Amino acid sequence: MSFLHRHPRLRLAALLSAPLLWLVVAYLGALAVLLVSAFWTVNGFTGEMVRTFSLANFRTILTEQVYRNVTLRSLGVAASVTVICVLLAVPMAFFMAKVARPRSRHWLVIAILTPLWASYLVKAYAWRVLLANGGPIESVFGATPGYGLFATILVLSYLWLPYMILPIYAGLERLPDSLLEASGDLGARAGRTFRSVVLPMLIPSVFAGSIFTFSLSLGDYITVQIVGGKSQLIGNLVYANIGAANNLPFAAAIATVPVLIMVIYLVAVRRSGALEEL
């Protein structure tokens, strides 16, 4: 022990080598392989990889209309899911953090977390049954949206809602009650207090939650396969090119699209200071 104590650099190296190795090899390494293989091609017949540099994959993605459409559709779904989650999560989190009694707060947090215990697939298939013709939704409301993009947005919002509620709840908990009281003392009504005091302080938390909902929706391909009808998103194209077409390089090229979108999004979010909220 005293040896390590006398060599602080060695101590640091021993402590950090495993996580750093993980970060560089498994995490960044995988991304690097992805980037490199995006420039390869595949022999269409035998499926063997041809390891020569080629921009063909990116040319296809940029020139073919369908890839632009799918990208825009995926962005639309991810944005809608995020907006719906914000609209649902803000009042919910506000109630949890400021209205509910401290004792019931814990139970509310547990209630928010319990759906995360069930498998993603089980929940998605449950929605497939719910939305089916003659399913529970139709018998209660008289109509069902059926399978399609709307159903996809609905189910994704359901799946990712906890990831939005929790950061907002954490943000609100840190908001001192005295600020709300001061605002009230100065004559502001509830709406004004919310707009001028709560919301500005909440923005970073909302952005933090949106990173989860947005990136999770952008990469999803299972929900849309189960309830999305005939729609396809970026994730489906990646999956189809790996699982079905065995065209790993093209899948890698497609996969760089959401990576790019997320990098742009993260840079934008970082400017708002939301990353400190995570």
Partner 1 sequence: MGHNGRWMTAVLAAGVLTLAACGGGSDQGSGSGPGGLAVPKIDKLAALGAGEGSVNIVSWAGYVEDGTTGKTVDWVTPFEKDTGCQVNNKVAATSDEMVTLMKTGDYDVVSASGDASLRLIYGGDVAPVNTDLITNYKDIFDGLKNKQWNSVDGAAYGVPHGRGANVLMYRTDTVTPAPTSWGAVFDANSPYKGKITAYDSPIYIADAALYLMKTQPDLGIKNPYALDDKQFEASVALLKEQNKNIGEYWSDYTKEVQAFKSGNSVIGTSWQVIANLAKADKAPVESVLPSEGATGWSDTWMISSKAKHPNCGYQWMDYIVSPKANAQVAEWFGEAPSNKLACEQTTDKQHCTTFHADDESYFDQVWYWTTPLAQCVDGRTDVTCKDYSAWTQAWTTIKG
**Whose Cβ is closer to partner 1: residue 119's or residue 178's?**
119
Instruction: Tell me the C-alpha distance between 233 and 67, whole Å.
Output: 9
Q: Taking CB under 8 A as the rule, does residue 74 contact partner 1? A: no
Q: Taking CB under 8 A as the rule, does residue 184 contact partner 1? A: no
Q: Taking CB under 8 A as the rule, does residue 60 contact partner 1? A: yes
Pairing mode, if any, of strands 41-42 and 49-50? antiparallel
Contact (Cβ atoms closer than 8 angstroms) between residue 41 and residue 249:
yes
Selected binder of partner 1 within 12, 16, 28, 268 (CB under 8 A) = 28
Q: Taking CB under 8 A as the rule, does residue 35 contact partner 1? A: yes
Q: Taking CB under 8 A as the rule, does residue 154 contact partner 1? A: no
Selected binder of partner 1 within 145, 146, 184, 219 (CB under 8 A) = 146
CB of 42: closest distance to partner 1 in angstroms?
A: 7
CB of 110: closest distance to partner 1 in angstroms?
A: 33
**Whose Cβ is closer to partner 1: residue 205's or residue 241's?**
241
Selected binder of partner 1 within 48, 91, 99, 173 (CB under 8 A) = 48
Selected binder of partner 1 within 10, 14, 16, 33 (CB under 8 A) = 33
Residues that bind partner 1 (CB under 8 A): 24, 28-29, 31-33, 35-36, 40, 42-53, 60, 64-67, 69-70, 128, 132-135, 146-147, 225-226, 228-230, 232, 237, 240-247
